[in-house]
Amino acid sequence: MKRKLTITTDPIDEAALVRERTTSTEAGAALYFSGIVRGSEETGTITAIDYEANEAMARHQFDKIFDQVETRWPIESIRLIHRISLVKVNEASLWVEIISGHRGEAFEACQWLINEMKRIVPIWKHPQEPEA
């Protein structure tokens, strides 16, 4: 399984990422997920989220997650981008691409990957409230 992980402070250019997609003749599904910062959290209205990461440990944990995906589903490739630093409301903080032979396995793998990422990857979010 091909894998590419990017942790960046740069905005995510989803259109460019889709144009860069590479698949084989066996690929029947290209699944894209974009995690967008919404304008509210448990604490109320926000304007952005400031993401912080232990990057070395985050990479290690993502490798473990990708290893598990590879053993559980016949996935051709995964590309994952996670932004750190300040991400404003309506901007993407996460982008995942999964290429597989069939849509079912792509959906299952993506859902599991995101849930596992939230559980074990050391990326913390600090919601930014509007100034009074």
Gap between the Cα atoms of 17 and 15, Å rounded: 5
* pLDDT tens, residue by residue, 67-122: 999 999 999 999 999 999 999 999 999 999 999 999 999 999 999 999 999 999 99
Neighbours of 2 (CB within 10 A): 12
pLDDT at 132 over 80: no
Q: Mean pLDDT throughout 46-52?
A: 98
Q: Mean pLDDT throughout 50-67?
A: 98
